[in-house]
A and B are shown apart, each in its own frame.
Chain A
Amino acid sequence: MQLFIASSQSKKVESVCYHCGEDCDTEVVKFESHNFCCNGCKTVYELLDQNGLSDYYALEEQPGNSLKTPRHVDQFEYLDNEEIANQLLDFKDEKRSKVTLFVASIRCSSCIWLLENLHRLQPAVVFSRVNFVKKEVYITFSKMITLREIVELVTSLGYEPKITLKGIEQKEKEADKPLLYKIGVAGFFGGNIMMLSFPEYFGDKTFFGSEFQHFFGYVSLMLSIPVLLYSSSDYFKSAFVAIRNRTTNIDVPVSLGILAIFARSTYEIVTQTGSGYMDSLAGLVFFLLVGKWFQSKTYQALSYDRDYKSYFPVAASVLKGGSHQQVPIEELEKGDIVRIKNSEVIPADSVLISTSANIDYSFVTGESVPVGKRENDSLYAGGKQVGASIDIRIEKKVSQSYLTQLWNQQAFRKNNDQQLYSVIDTVSQYFTVGIILVAVITGAVWYFIDASQVLNTVTAVLIIACPCALALTLPFAFGNALRSFSKKGLYLKGPEIVEELSKVNTVVFDKTGTLTKGNAQDVSYHGGSLSGGELRLVKSLTTHSGHPLSKAVFDSIVSDEIEVTNFREYEAKGIEAVINGKLVKMGSANFLRRQLNSNDASHVHLQIDGGYRGCFVVKSSYREGLKELLNELKTNQKIYLLSGDNETDKDVLAQWFDLKNMHFNQTPRQKLDFIEQLKASGECVMMIGDGLNDAGALKAATIGVAITDDIYNFTPSSDAILSAKQFKSLLQFLIFSKQTLAVVRVSFIISLTYNIVGLSFAVQGVLSPLVAAILMPLSSITVVIFITVVINYLSIKALGK
């Protein structure tokens, strides 16, 4: 075990990469008195330094992105394909082209600075601009340079853009703008109407005289028309739809109130019996729209509705007439020979032509260990090749591959008729009925007291009962909760998810990539202790093998490497080589021809010069805080495990999950069916998964949460994205969502109290415009302040600062 302790000591604080800030634990590249973790980082530094761009390092410390992961030289070759390039470009004429690149690794001001100064590195770049919030770079470049060169330039600096088919197909929509126009219009006209209502507020008629009162009345009537017809149109539409479907929602009483205010005010102004409530009308609409805007501010850089296409590459390298050509993947035909390089995704179901391959299906099926394949084995789309390049022959078109078919099944699509805001809709149903009852009773009672006052009191009831505070409760409550969640690393797709989150009583976990970390593995050594020299032998041997177990062992040892001779790899058995004159063998118990009690596939045995030394055990590495989380979670939720992997980890997991609640070797379809069953038995199910095999289950669940190390990476379609670092706070998230709903209930009571007080004036027929003008904004502001303060306080208490 000592080797692992040694490894943690070797990480010194000062050996941090000057470029990217990563620990230089394996090697240190020294250049101009700075340390770099790899040659890639050093190259970027050199490039920037030579071009007078070293300000990059002055703006922020260690601003760069690590370039450790090797990239292929021809990774972006497909961009030379004119068809693909034209699809990606926003604009093109004879002189220049414009492109928008999505770069998730933009993270600080240095990044912005460098990407906006690209023209100093490459004169052919005319203009470049960064949108930090959307993580986008807009580049205009002259025809001196191709799109491929632009993308390669940006990539060489450590800002690899994500280019996907989905990105090509879907140009973004601008949903926010009409709402902002409406707010602007309501604010502008509302402000002017209020100015005209000032004499009314002071009750001072002597100064202006009644001549102005009438004139002001008509002007405010005119000014309120755009507010009624344009700014509040969404409420009328939504109310109309609800009534047509014979239901009610909160927009029904809101619309009723707006119309009542307008009708009553118009009547008063035209008959010159009063000055109306146009200021209240405009103020109300303005507040409501601001609330709507507040909750609609979501995360522009994240996307929740990705489909399988954004997981696949844009193009594949097809062998045509002796040379490789880049072909868009939807044009791949049966029989095409495609070359797949290390860590590239197989685009369609196919057959292996090369002698052997190592396919990592962890994202597609949940199997944690790459699968060895041989010539003529069939390969499914979505797997990643690990190791040397392979050639494959396409058997099915992309659109007919297993994965695509799976995705297109109807069952995998979530039915979108789910109700938004069920809390408020139930409340508003009673509310609407209540208001209409009160209005009718008031009218009837006044009919007997004083028939001329009927219209007056009924409209007063409708006006004061207009539930603006109620309508503002949810936007502000959920909007605030959404922000608190995102600060802690849980990004919800929309505000309505907060409500669903609070109802969750069953949590279903995937294993690979969810409970375990994506690629990291824990390696421990059991047996006779190894000297530094022996560790060097092991490190030198494993460096030559692409097998995942060898890699895991290799990564766990800190040592230098020495030359190896007679290296041989026996597939699915082990590796051997002569190092320093010693024959070193590593592999399964069979391979070493030994009778060992441990025959587990995750054990790598070591033998040096015929003497058995011990074995390395490679285990899935569980996420931090998993133990505490599951222990707490299982006391108040039902928890289940659905894994596409085999049962290797069953014993470990049995301490948290009941045996009957653990399901291994699950296909995507089985996962989906299992979730549906749970839902059918009345549970509110939260599914947490990461891979494509969870996609169906994520959609079927009440809430599907995709967990990922990098929130900008590909995640299957889901309702929420959880940053893997915050996995341990899952229970806190659930608790906080319940508290949010409690706050909503209290604020319903507050706004109803206001309504009742107002109604008590209205039914007596003594509602003055002044009371209306004060009471309506006052109730809204109280509710908004109450919610904002309490929710933020609770979020600090439940989730921490």
Chain B
Amino acid sequence: MSVIYILMAVSFVVALGFLIAFIWTIKSGQLDDDYTPSVRMLFDDELKNQTKSKS
């Protein structure tokens, strides 16, 4: 059963990775604007369509 110690350590490290990722997203301002990226994402598609149809 001592494998549980290793599993706990592993799960803790993985979870810690997510915590660090979360803090990093806040720090780098990724959560400052929760609307514009959703719109921006759609532009790329439309532009590609247009360039295809032009060529």
What is A's interface to B at a CB cutoff of 8 Å?
55, 58-59, 109, 112-113, 116, 129-134, 177, 180-181, 184-185, 188, 191-192, 195, 208-209, 212, 219
Instruction: Give chain B residues whose Cβ lies under 8 Å from the Cβ of A133.
Output: 33-36
A132 x B31 contact (CB < 8 A)? no
Least distance between B10 CB and chain A CB atoms (Å): 12
Distance (Å) between the CB of B46 and the closest chain A CB? 6
Which B residues contact A (CB, under 8 angstroms)? 1, 4, 8, 11-12, 15-16, 18-19, 22-23, 26-27, 31-36, 39-40, 42-43, 46-47, 50
Q: Which of A59, A129, A188, A212 contacts B46 (CB 8 A)?
A: A59
- Using known A-B contacts A55-B47, A188-B19, determine if residue A131 contacts B36 with beta carbons closer than 8 Å: yes
B16 shortest CB reach to chain A, Å: 8
- Take A133-B33, A191-B15 as given contacts and tell me if A113 and B23 are in contact as well, using a CB distance cutoff of 8 Å: no
Closest chain B residue to A109 by CB distance? B39
Q: In the complex, what residues of A have CB within 8 A of residue B23's CB?
A: 181, 184
- 10 nearest A-B pairs in the assembled complex, by CB-CB distance: A188-B19, A132-B36, A131-B33, A109-B39, A184-B22, A132-B35, A180-B26, A133-B35, A113-B43, A112-B39
Q: How far is the CA of A547 from the CA of B46 in the complex (A)?
A: 50
Q: Is the CB of A177 within 8 A of B26?
A: yes
Q: Which residues of B contact A130 (CB under 8 A)?
A: 36
Contact B26 A112 (CB under 8 A): no
A184 touching B26 in the complex, CB below 8 Å, given contacts A55-B50, A109-B42: yes
Q: Across the two chains, which residue of chain A brings its CB closest to B47?
A: A55
User: Shortest beta-carbon distance, A100 to chain B, in Å?
Assistant: 12
Taking a contact as CB atoms under 8 Å apart, the answer to whether A188 and B15 are in contact is yes
A112-B36, A113-B39 known; 14 other A-B pairs, CB under 8 Å?
A109-B39, A109-B42, A112-B39, A113-B43, A116-B40, A129-B36, A132-B33, A133-B35, A180-B31, A188-B19, A192-B11, A192-B12, A208-B1, A212-B1
- Smallest beta-carbon distance A712→chain B, Å: 16
User: What are 17 A-to-B residue pairs whose CB atoms are below 8 Å?
Assistant: A55-B47, A55-B50, A112-B36, A129-B36, A132-B39, A133-B34, A133-B35, A133-B36, A177-B27, A180-B26, A185-B19, A188-B15, A188-B16, A188-B18, A188-B19, A192-B12, A219-B8
Contact A181-B8, Cβ < 8 Å, known A58-B46, A109-B39, A116-B40: no
Contacts of A185 in B (CB 8 A): 19
Contacts of A219 in B (CB 8 A): 8
Measured CB to CB, the nearest residue on chain B to A185 is B19
A106 closest partner in B (C-beta): B36
Distance between Cα atoms of A188 and B40 in the complex (Å): 31
Is the beta-carbon distance between B32 and A192 smaller than 8 angstroms?
Answer: no
B42: nearest chain-A partner, CB-CB = A109
Contacts of A181 in B (CB 8 A): 23, 26
- Residues of chain B within 8 A (CB-CB) of A188 are 15-16, 18-19, 22
List the B residue with the shortest CB-CB distance to A216: B8
Contact A55 B15 (CB under 8 A): no
> Which of chain B's residues have a CB closer than 8 A to the CB of A58?
46
Q: Which of A109, A129, A192, A212 contacts B4 (CB 8 A)?
A: A212
A191 vs B16: C-alpha distance in the bound complex, in angstroms?
11
Q: How far is the CA of A212 from the CA of B8 in the complex (A)?
A: 12
CA distance A55 to B47 in the complex (A): 8
B26 — which chain A residues lie within 8 A by C-beta? 177, 180-181, 184
Q: Which residues of B contact A177 (CB under 8 A)?
A: 26-27
Q: In chain B, what residue has the closest Cβ to A195?
A: B11
CA distance A143 to B42 in the complex (A): 31
Q: How far is the CA of A58 from the CA of B43 in the complex (A)?
A: 11
Partner of B19, one of A59, A184, A212: A184
> Shortest distance in angstroms between B7's beta carbon and chain A's nearest beta carbon?
11
By a CB distance below 8 angstroms, the chain B residues around A59 are: 43, 46
Q: Point out the residues of chain A lying under 8 angstroms from B34, CB to CB.
A: 133
Contact residues in A for B11 (Cβ distance below 8 Å): 192, 195
CB of B21 to closest CB in A, whole Å: 10
- Please give me the residue from chain A that is nearest to B36 by CB atom: A132
In the assembled complex, the Cα of A113 lies from the Cα of B1 at a distance in Å of 58
Assembled-state Cα–Cα distance A131/B15 (Å): 31
Q: Which residues of B contact A212 (CB under 8 A)?
A: 1, 4
Chain B residues in 8 Å Cβ range of A109: 39, 42-43
Q: How far is the CB of B12 from chain A (nearest CB, A)?
A: 6
- Minimal beta-carbon separation of B48 from chain A (angstroms): 12
Smallest distance from the beta carbon of B17 to chain A beta carbons, Å? Answer: 10
Tell me the smallest distance from the CB of A176 to a CB of chain B, in Å: 9
Closest Cβ of chain A to B28, distance in Å, is 11
Q: Cβ of A55 and Cβ of B18 under 8 Å apart?
A: no
Measured CB to CB, the nearest residue on chain B to A209 is B1
CB distance from A677 to the nearest CB of B (A): 45
Return chain A residues, CB-CB under 8 Å to B31.
180
| Nearest-Cβ distance from residue B18 to partner chain A, whole angstroms | 7
Contacts of A134 in B (CB 8 A): 32-33
Which residue of chain B is the closest to A136 with respect to CB atoms?
B33
Residues in chain A near residue B12, CB distance under 8 A: 192
Minimum CB distance partner of A112 in chain B: B39
Chain A, Cβ-Cβ closest to B27: A177
**Shortest distance from the beta carbon of A108 to any chain B beta carbon, whole Å:** 9
**Contact partner of A112 among B1, B4, B27, B40, CB < 8 A?**
B40
Q: How far is the CA of A129 from the CA of B39 in the complex (A)?
A: 12
Give the shortest distance, in Å, between B54 (CB) and chain A (any CB): 9
Known A59-B46, A181-B23, A219-B8; contact A192-B33, beta-carbon cutoff 8 A: no
Instruction: Return the chain A residue nearest B31 by Cβ.
Output: A180
> What distance in Å separates the Cβ of B32 from its nearest Cβ neighbour in chain A?
7
Residues of B within 8 A of A116 (CB): 40, 43
B3 to chain A, nearest CB (A): 12
Chain A residues with Cβ below 8 Å from B15 are 188, 191-192
Residues of A within 8 A of B27 (CB): 177
Cβ-closest chain A residue relative to B33: A131
Instruction: Say yes or no: A131 contacts B32, CB within 8 Å.
Output: yes
- A209: B residues at CB distance < 8 A: 1
The answer for the CA separation of A5 and B14 in the assembled complex, in Å, is 73
